[in-house]
Structure 1
Amino acid sequence: MELEKETKKMTLGHEVGAGAACLKCKDKCEGFELHFWRKICRNCKCGLEDHDVQMESAENKKVGRLFEDTKYTRLVNKLNTEGIPQYRETLSALSVASGLATSTNVPAAVPTATGVPAGVRTATAVPARVPTSIGASGVPTSIGASGVPTSIGASGVPTATGVPTATGVPTATGVPTATGVPTATGAPKPTGVPAATSVFTPVAVPAKKDVVKAIAFEWAPPVANLQLAVRYIELLPPEKRPITGTQGAEYRKHQMARQLPEHDQDPSCCHDLSPKEVQLMQQYVRKYKDEALGVGDLKLPEEMSSHAAQAGGKGGLEAGTHAGAAAGPGHVDKGTATLGKIGTPAARGAPDGSPKGQTYSCHRCQQLMKEGEPAVFAERAGYDKLWHPACFVCCTCTELLVDMIYFWKKGKLYCGRHYGDSEKPRCGGCDELIFSNEYTQAEGQNWHLKHFCCFDCDCVLAGETYVMEKDKPVCKPCYMKSHAVHCKSCQKPIDPEAQRVSFGDDHWHAEPHCFLCSGCSKCLIGQRFMALKGKLFCSVECKKKILG
């Protein structure tokens, strides 16, 4: 019954993104219209991620299903309304230094906090309808219930504004008093003069160079130490930082669709699977959830030995020796995190319990990990392996693992797509993994028998002539109509099976009536010729005759 239920509910969600404009093709696309099994737009052949579609909800549900029934349930919310697991949004905004914002071209719409010079006080949140201001003396004042401004005196007792204050209370330099005469700092205020009868006017101050900005992120590592998360993002290539409204946000969107295809995990997103294929796919999904799927975590290299000890030494620490080991006990190598093997007693001068001279290096680039800098840890890989944030990539496509979601297999990191490719053949037509025993191979790709079709008109190509156009098979009629090059002489399309002559971007039928001299009409097949301005010439004389 379960298999029948899975088979019956299969759908490709044709209503999602319908009519959305293509961001690549612009006006050439009439709007997104999903092909019924290719996972692309019928009109422009681009993917859904290339169209102006808000995909956050679909992405959250997709990753939610991926993590369902795994140890990563902390990243999943159960939706009571739909019963669909959803990816928990980890973080939406962080306060960061202006350097991060500058390098990533944050949109002007992102709110920012204005920096102020040291010593200038900033307003704090207070209950509604109780405004506060800074009095002339630098003491905060508030409006009391009676409407009379009050200030907090030295004893903590509020005093009504307008009542003479105690002699000796200093006032801010250059701030006018009620009489309009400024008083020097530290000078006693004359008795009987109101403390602050005028409303304090904020003074505009120049912004500092290191302005703190609140930046919205599409995603950030779900760690308690927010500064560690910010530093992780700073260490990514600028064009790949997931900051809302930037190139990095678009990069994440594309990688989410590319690396984690929904049809690799959910049979209902596949086209026309048999009950047996649904069962095999469910077994495949269960296998990678149990054996390969993981989510990277951020760690400080200098803390890894304690984490490994708490975990019982799983994976072991195979720390490499650093050249600084010869410096002797107590030597500290600045800029690198020194770590020893689990259970090894600390050398003298090693307060963290790690002998000096043993360090972590990045598992990919082999460069030393710097102390205090975030490193990516993959639990399935063991405690002896760490990666720089920019080095945590798929071993096949070398792209950043989106949201640090990885698949571990035989000592290598994979994205979801390429892990699937290492386990099953993938159809070049529908982009789905093939779970049937029968399929065909052509042009270096694998195909469902029913999906080896013309990329333009979907006609079956078994036993038919076809042409590969951008790695996609196209039938001969569609090739002649949409893809064939045209003869420079007769302007007709050139048959893919016909002989032709090409020179630069120009093409001719290899026929006497097409490939001939523009001056004397001599056939140039097998002869020397010159091509100028789209014309052929057998000699300089013919060139001068036509072109002068």
Structure 2
Amino acid sequence: MGQKKWLKKSLCEGQYTLSVLSQGACEDKAFPAGCPALLQMSGSQPQVARGVPCLRCRGLCTGFEPHSWRKMCKSCKCSQEEHGLSSELDDDRKIGRLLAASKYSSLTARLKGGDGGRIYKRNRMIVTNPNISGKDPTFDTITYEWAPPGLTQKLAMQYMELVPKELQPVAGTDGALHRRRRLARQLPLHDQDPAQCRGLAEGEQQLMEEFVSKYKAEALGVGEVALPGQ
């Protein structure tokens, strides 16, 4: 029997692990549920709880039913991210881990009483505008769940006005939800932590740690906001 190599996601959007399988193992392209070789390669990403309603289908989905190896719901075919999001603290921890041990570590803070990890010092912005349409003046308050750090409120508002209104991260809106969905998709834990991958040999874990250090030093960047010519 020959051998066939399968490349499984690990470093970008799940887990990329190169495994050598016997010719007959999991020959079916659909990868039948329970396939031992597939389970060996599958990652250990945290699963959304079963039965969590879909945020996109809004009542049409009977609840999250995890696929055996895809990050999707078997019931409605939407992604895990559409069924439940991590907490804001978890989001900030993921970004903090990404920026830690890099030249952008000043954007993070060490968690007190924790495991020594770092958390992203997310910049929220609260804007208060007077409302004089009524008899007695009142104030309208808008909270942005995220804003570029290190800017005056005037410049930060100029930045926000360039973002499509439906994507502005205003608390309680679809724009804020969209931002958190993108974080869930763009920053999987497997991209940074070998412990979140399953089936990596000891040498592969070391290679991944070296890869993470390398992209933090050579590829990681944080955008800056400034007016033209400044």
The equivalent of 1:237 in structure 2 is 164
| Contact 2:144–2:170 (Cα < 8 Å) also in 1 | yes
Any idea what the Cα deviations from partners look like across 1:330-365, whole Å, max 9, x if unmatched?
xxxxxxxxxxxxxxxxxxxxxxxxxxxxxxxxxxxx
One-letter code of the match for 2:148? P
Counting aligned pairs with the same residue, the percent is: 41
- Give the match's secondary structure for 1:301: coil
Q: Does 1:115 align with 2:132?
A: yes
Structure 1 residues without counterparts, runs of 5 or longer: 1-9, 97-112, 117-203, 304-548
Q: Kindly tell me: are residues 35 and 271 of structure 1, through their superposed partners in 2, closer, same or farther at Cα, counting changes over 3 Å?
A: farther
| Contact 2:194–2:208 (Cα < 8 Å) also in 1 | yes
Q: Distance in 1 between matches of 2:139 and 2:162?
A: 18
Any idea what the Cα deviations from partners look like across 1:106-162, whole Å, max 9, x if unmatched?
xxxxxxx4338xxxxxxxxxxxxxxxxxxxxxxxxxxxxxxxxxxxxxxxxxxxxxx
One-letter code of the match for 2:110? K
1:279: Cα distance to partner? 1.8
1:284: Cα distance to partner? 1.4
In structure 1, which of residues 53, 72, 80 is the aligned counterpart of residue 104 of structure 2?
72
Q: Distance in 2 between matches of 1:73 and 1:215?
A: 29
| 1:234-313 pair list within 5 angstroms | 234-303=161-230
Q: Distance in 1 between matches of 2:72 and 2:207?
A: 25
Q: Distance in 2 between matches of 1:230 and 1:237?
A: 13
Q: Kindly tell me: are residues 254 and 56 of structure 1, through their superposed partners in 2, closer, same or farther at Cα, counting changes over 3 Å?
A: same
Q: Distance in 2 between matches of 1:49 and 1:73?
A: 27
Q: Distance in 2 between matches of 1:86 and 1:259?
A: 17
| Contact 2:81–2:185 (Cα < 8 Å) also in 1 | no
One-letter code of the match for 2:52? A
One-letter code of the match for 1:297? E
1:28: Cα distance to partner? 4.7
| Contact 1:20–1:32 (Cα < 8 Å) also in 2 | yes
Q: Which consecutive aligned stretches of 4+ in structure 1 deviate over 4 angstroms post-superposition?
A: 33-37
1:220: Cα distance to partner? 0.5
Asked which structure has the greater RCO (Cα within 8 Å, sep 6+), the reply is: 2
Q: Kindly tell me: are residues 219 and 55 of structure 1, through their superposed partners in 2, closer, same or farther at Cα, counting changes over 3 Å?
A: same
Q: Does 1:216 align with 2:143?
A: yes
Q: Kindly tell me: are residues 275 and 42 of structure 1, through their superposed partners in 2, closer, same or farther at Cα, counting changes over 3 Å?
A: farther
Q: Kindly tell me: are residues 232 and 273 of structure 1, through their superposed partners in 2, closer, same or farther at Cα, counting changes over 3 Å?
A: same
The equivalent of 1:476 in structure 2 is none
Q: Distance in 1 between matches of 2:198 and 2:60?
A: 28
| Contact 1:77–1:85 (Cα < 8 Å) also in 2 | yes
Alpha-carbon RMSD: 2.8
1:54: Cα distance to partner? 4.8
In structure 2, which of residues 20, 25, 46 is the aligned counterpart of residue 13 of structure 1?
46
Q: Distance in 2 between matches of 1:206 and 1:212?
A: 10
Any idea what the Cα deviations from partners look like across 1:170-216, whole Å, max 9, x if unmatched?
xxxxxxxxxxxxxxxxxxxxxxxxxxxxxxxxxx6376xxx963211
| Contact 1:17–1:53 (Cα < 8 Å) also in 2 | no
In structure 2, which of residues 118, 121, 130 is the aligned counterpart of residue 88 of structure 1?
121
Indicate the structure with greater helix content.
2
Q: Kindly tell me: are residues 268 and 46 of structure 1, through their superposed partners in 2, closer, same or farther at Cα, counting changes over 3 Å?
A: farther
| Contact 2:45–2:189 (Cα < 8 Å) also in 1 | no
Q: Distance in 2 between matches of 1:291 and 1:33?
A: 39
One-letter code of the match for 1:51? H
Q: Distance in 1 between matches of 2:121 and 2:182?
A: 18
Q: Distance in 2 between matches of 1:218 and 1:17?
A: 25
Q: Kindly tell me: are residues 259 and 277 of structure 1, through their superposed partners in 2, closer, same or farther at Cα, counting changes over 3 Å?
A: same
Q: Kindly tell me: are residues 67 and 269 of structure 1, through their superposed partners in 2, closer, same or farther at Cα, counting changes over 3 Å?
A: same
Structure 2 residues without counterparts, runs of 5 or longer: 1-42
One-letter code of the match for 2:194? P
Q: Does 1:50 align with 2:109?
A: no
Q: Kindly tell me: are residues 13 and 259 of structure 1, through their superposed partners in 2, closer, same or farther at Cα, counting changes over 3 Å?
A: closer
One-letter code of the match for 2:135? V
Q: Kindly tell me: are residues 86 and 228 of structure 1, through their superposed partners in 2, closer, same or farther at Cα, counting changes over 3 Å?
A: same
Any idea what the Cα deviations from partners look like across 1:231-280, whole Å, max 9, x if unmatched?
10011122221112223222212221233333222222223222222222
The equivalent of 1:179 in structure 2 is none
TM-score in terms of structure 1 length:
0.31
1:68: Cα distance to partner? 0.9
Structure whose CA Rg is larger: 1
- Give the match's secondary structure for 2:229: helix
Any idea what the Cα deviations from partners look like across 1:507-534, whole Å, max 9, x if unmatched?
xxxxxxxxxxxxxxxxxxxxxxxxxxxx
Q: Distance in 2 between matches of 1:45 and 1:279?
A: 35
1:72: Cα distance to partner? 1.2
- Give the match's secondary structure for 1:213: strand
